[in-house]
A and B are shown apart, each in its own frame.
Chain A
Amino acid sequence: MNMHKFAHMSDCHIGAWRDEKLRELNLKAFEKTIDLCVEEKVDFILVSGDLFDTNIPDLRQVKRAVEKLRFAKGNGINIYLVYGSHDYNPNTISMIDVLESANLFEKVSKGEFKGDKLELQFIEDPKTGAKMTGLHGRKIGLEKDYFEALDVEPLEQEEGFKIFLFHSSLTEMNPGYIPQERSVPVSMLPRSFNYYAGGNIHKKIEGKFTDHPFVAYPGPLFGTNFRDLEDMAKGERRGFFIVEFDDIVRNMRFVEVNISEVVYHVFDAEKKTARQVEELLVEKAKDIDVEKKILLFRVTGMMSSGRPVDIDFRRLKEILLERGAVYANINRYALKSKERIEIRVKGERKTEIEERIFKEKMSGFKIDPSIKNKKIRKLLENRLVGEKGIELAQNLLDGLKMEKREGETKADFQARVLHNALEVTQLEGEE
């Protein structure tokens, strides 16, 4: 049999980062990855979800991503993917759908419910004959329902070299920061596939299980939050897998995509004055090699006197950037002062904090008893109660986060925001 090879990447999150420099680095990681895939002459590319950071990302970023996707296509490399939890919205069209209709790639998560069973179809790569299917991710792990409903028998009986793509955290491979109830046990994956291409976990992890021989998460190409960058500084490798196969997987290796080195320092401010902390930070900023590096400082502890605002973090950042750092961030959430009223929200990632707040607020949500119309009550129950309500709230928040485009009038921007919100809530056109 002929030997083939494919690349497996995930969590590209194109369009992530508010900061322009980091957004650019993230996109560059994707561009470099496609170049490496072309260099490697892979037969096809798999993206296990979250190609984009939102369902409708910034169009300038999309344009550059499309150029790279076309470059791969032009070199005879097909691309297969599933939606991730970020670039999928059950209520509205996403950029993934637009680009799929332009034949830039193909979604492999295709199927339908027959009764209470979800029947998936296979897609066959014309060049290699590899068969692919999978499940896309949804916010707060709602795709668990799909796994539970999955009719695994026909999938397991299908012959040939098979790949299952998914964008879910597997319980056994969970690095610890994903709540158990949002993860899916390995046993929920259909058996007898040759390769399980995972996404969603932001770490490179490979696993072998009795019925699931190759389960792999490549992790993101760069990262979408500071924790990802901190992990990089601690040695977490960023990149993608190249997998060689004939009728089974023969070889698997990880290709690193090093876009920028990350340096991370933790400073203990315990029992120090604000002035002492500032001196400590400045001394370090002047001492270390920062050239072309991303600098992450974290300051923790309870100061003996002074407040965090007494420390000139802006000056510190300037020193680092002047000395050649690509980017500098000083995390001071864990810096406490006896003179400061403490407000604590558990959770490190922005999405975690948002979700926690939604969960807290929506746990007490009840439909107004004055609404007697059964149809309306049912509609509200389906959309606003429980986890569906949290998902809707998050989608709505994502939709409202959009920025005004260059040249866009205020009225057009308002109309776009409103249109997006109505689409997310599916209120437009409802009785």
Chain B
Amino acid sequence: MKVVGSVISGKHGSILIRQKSGAEVELGDLLLVKHKDASILLQVYDVVYGSQIPTKHLEMISGMKLEGYGADLDFMDPALRNYVIVQVKAVAKIEEDRVRMPKTLPPFMGNVRHVSKEDFDFLTKPSNPVFFGNIRSGSKVLDVPVYLNGLEVFTHHILVPATTGRGKSNLVKVMAWDVIDKDFSGMLILDPHDEYFGRHEKGLKDHPMSKKNLMYYSPRPVRGSISLVFNLGLIRPRHFRGIVNFTEAQHEALIVAYNTHRENWLTEIARGAVLENVNPRTISVLQRKMDALLGVYADEDGTVHSRTGIFSTSMGQSTLKDILEGLENGKKIILDTSLFTDEIELLIGSIILHELLYRYKNYKQEGTLDSKPVVSIVVEEAPRVLSSEVLTSMGNNIYSDIAREGRKFRIGLVAITQLASLIPKTVLANMNTKIILGNELVSERSAIINSAAQDLSADDRNIASLDLGEAIISSNFTKFAIPIQTPLFEDHIKQFEKITSKEKRRFV
């Protein structure tokens, strides 16, 4: 391959390369330099001009050309006198199939070239693979798919930070598409924008295995999907913890109501039932609060109704069980929460996650947890439940519980956010895989870089310049921060076709 430059100076973490004239090197490019029997993988984090001619002379020459004093004026041997200095950092040392952190400098004056597909032969497909995209060198995409071990990355949480329009949802769609037919992982997607299923456009519904492995719950179901309705009897006071603000007296009243009426506790609150040692005014407040929150009220006959249809006294008895069993069987479940308030969306997630964590804790106790699939929870706008402010004012919630201890029970979060800086450092540190997309905000980049699994301190500009679909995977489960390009979902799925049976059928 063509030489694009040679190593001229620098130090570990900041190596300077003199770029060959005519060669093109861009920010984020991956370059390779041979060192004895090994290759050192370098990544460009900055490019600057270099010249043998003093700046004053350069200013004079450019001025003469611009002002018409010498149209034919040119440098003698221009390629030798003016050039580009490429700043790189060594990201990996490859010895046959072994990859290590580079601890030595590349050879002085060593020839540097662009990477090729073959240079990544060491990247083997792991067990339980999840596809995230292809290796990217600058803006060039290589035909090298990047897979991570789903069991590892899903249990140890994934953070997807980026500003709007950088391809967060596209990335999660591509990732979810890839695991639809894989039974090592169940996935629950709380979808506040109703964008994953593909109601009106291409989506996860178009996967060849969607009929078997995808469940879609929506308050506006399309043919074949399930109406999202929860039976009131399934809700417990603990489901509100950290999601809805109750005073201490109200919280105690909820507990008394549950202990007294068990699964009918919410209908009894809706009816304004008298509770022992509870001030009637507290019950009245709760009655109004539950009406405002859940849309549940009692008519004059005491019959309890739901204004929204999401919560019911008679229907939706198996919803929770179906979702939990689906996740345990490796299904991917989308909940369309686009018509709900934040509180309702998070409450529904809380109902499911409390019971899921409870089940998985039991499996661990029984010793059967290892036979269960990992469950991944996709949460958009994660600071709604994970920000310092929320955790301080409302206390912990099930999402933060999972962020803290979920990995012990094979449950992980895929937290999507524009504002990673709002999430406490301790929580960010627990997100062991970060798929970093473009971000213009300095404070956000700083929060991400400071909590990354690899040293990305030199990558600030690189992250700022990431285009749509371009990302950097920084993970405890990769040897180096891998630049990737996630394909556009609509293009990616073209290679998969639904199989339709041509068997002649008979209706008896």
Contact = CB atoms under 8 A, between A and B. Distances in A.
A287 interface: no
A219 to B, nearest CB: 13
A179 B316 CA distance: 14
Interface in A187-224: 187-188, 205-207, 209-210
A128 interface: no
A90 B506 CA distance: 10
Contacts, number: 71
B221 A185 contact: yes
Given A180-B325, A185-B221, A188-B223, A172 B505 contact: no
B315 interface: yes
Interface of A is mostly: mixed
A152, A180, A210 pick with most chain B CB within 10 angstroms: A180
B503 to A, nearest CB: 8
A188 B315 contact: no
Q: Interface size bucket, B side?
A: 20 to 34
Given A187-B221, A188-B224, A116 B318 contact: no
B424 interface: no
B322 A180 contact: yes
A172 B226 contact: yes
B396 interface: no
A305 interface: no
B229 A112 contact: no
A188 B316 CA distance: 16
B315 A207 contact: yes
Contacts of A186: 221, 226-227
Max count, chain B CB within 10 A of own CB: residue among A118, A171, A175, A183 = A171
B49 interface: no
Contacts of A171: 226, 318, 322
A205 B500 contact: no
B225 interface: yes
Given A112-B507, A149-B505, A187 B226 contact: yes
Interface string A152-186: 10000000000000000001111110111001011
Nearest to A178: B318
B505 A113 contact: yes
A152 B223 CA distance: 10
Nearest to A88: B508
Contacts of A173: 314-315
B500 A116 contact: yes
B321 interface: yes
Nearest to B211: A148
A146 interface: yes
Given A180-B326, A209-B227, A111 B315 contact: no
Interface string B473-508: 000000000000000000000000000110011111
B505 A176 contact: no
Contacts of B226: 171-172, 185-187
Interface string A210-250: 10000000000000000000000000000000000000000
Contacts of A209: 227, 309
B222 interface: yes
Nearest to A180: B322
B400 interface: no
Contacts of B507: 111-113, 118, 146
A326 to B, nearest CB: 31
Contact of A113 (B317, B322, B326, B506): B506
Nearest to A208: B309
A307 to B, nearest CB: 27
Given A172-B226, A185-B221, A188-B224, A205 B506 contact: no
Contacts of B508: 90
Contact of A176 (B215, B220, B221, B317): B317
A185 B314 contact: no
Contact of B227 (A113, A118, A187, A205): A187
A209 B310 CA distance: 11
Given A185-B221, A185-B226, A187-B224, A176 B315 contact: no
Given A116-B505, A187-B223, A206 B318 contact: no
Contacts of B225: 185, 187
Interface in B309-332: 309, 314-319, 321-322, 325-326
B325 A205 contact: no
A358 B137 CA distance: 54
Given A180-B325, A187-B222, A175 B227 contact: no
A185 B317 contact: no
A206 B314 contact: yes
Nearest to B221: A187
Contacts of A207: 314-315
A118 B500 CA distance: 15
A118 B508 CA distance: 11
A104 B346 CA distance: 55
Nearest to B215: A180
A205 B321 CA distance: 19
Contacts of A175: 317-318
Contacts of B315: 172-173, 205, 207
Contacts of A176: 317-318, 321
A130 B223 CA distance: 25
Interface in B217-251: 220-227, 229
Contacts of A205: 314-315
Contacts of B326: 180
Interface of A: 90, 111-113, 116, 118, 145-146, 148-149, 152, 171-176, 178-180, 183, 185-188, 205-207, 209-210
7 contacts: A116-B500, A116-B505, A172-B226, A175-B317, A180-B215, A180-B325, A186-B221
The 3 closest A-B pairs by CB, nearest first: A180-B322, A174-B318, A187-B221
Given A180-B318, A186-B227, A209-B227, 17 more contacts: A113-B507, A116-B501, A116-B505, A152-B223, A172-B226, A172-B316, A173-B315, A178-B318, A180-B322, A180-B325, A187-B221, A187-B227, A205-B315, A206-B314, A207-B314, A207-B315, A210-B220
